[in-house]
Amino acid sequence: MHSLAWVSCDGKGSFLNSLKLKQWVEGQIDKGLKHVVVDLDKCTGMDSTFMGTLAGIAMKLCKIDGAKLEVAFANGKNTQSLEDLGLDCLMTVNPGHPSWQDQVAEIRGALTPCGDQGEGTNRKHVYEAHKTLCDADDSNNEKFATVLDCLEQELAAQVEPRPRS
């Protein structure tokens, strides 16, 4: 079997764990892995930041020859959420006969917890995730215009720390 990066979302996929997901997957891509599987078997739901992060990962992989993102074991609600934002065009949701289908138990058994949920409310990451959703599908512009406006204002208001003399 070819190498792949496999990540499982246990609980809700949200702004609290999406930055850590992005950083881990980008690290795997930097190591040369081109096949990313996001296992949503234990995922109870996804917020827009998490889905925007998935879209960003998919868009990054689209630029690499032979690379792909597969979302596995998404329940009906999670599948519908991805479809509602037009993200099923960027990634394969619940692939029919994936190359890894006979190794799921082995792969899941080898997973290690990622620890704490990471940065949490990183406004820049949340903004970028929502901007990516709008870039992925024009119909998302109206859905997230208010969120983007608020985040832009918050980011503009952040004061850079001054170096101490």
Question: The domain that contains 35 carries what CATH number?
Answer: 3.30.750.24
Residue 162 lies in a domain: no
The total of structural domains in the chain comes to 1
In a domain, 83, yes or no: yes
Domain coverage including residue 118: 5-157
- Structure tokens given for 38: 């996001």
Would you tell me the crossing angle of helices 76-84 and 48-62 to the nearest 10 degrees?
70
164 found inside a domain = no
Rg, the chain, Cα only: 17
What are the pLDDT digits (tens) for 53-108? Answer: 999 999 999 999 999 999 999 999 999 999 999 999 999 999 999 999 999 999 99
Q: Please write the tens of the pLDDT for every residue from 17-67.
A: 999 999 999 999 999 999 999 999 999 999 999 999 999 999 999 999 999
Nearest to 121 by CA among 47, 57, 69: 47
Mean pLDDT over the full length of the chain: 91
163 occurs within a structural domain: no
Q: Does the residue 131 lie in any domain? A: yes
Question: How confident is residue 120, by pLDDT bands cut at 50, 70 and 90?
Answer: very low
Q: Is the pLDDT of residue 119 over 70?
A: no
pLDDT class of 15 with cuts at 50, 70, 90 = very high
Q: Is the residue at 97 inside a domain?
A: yes
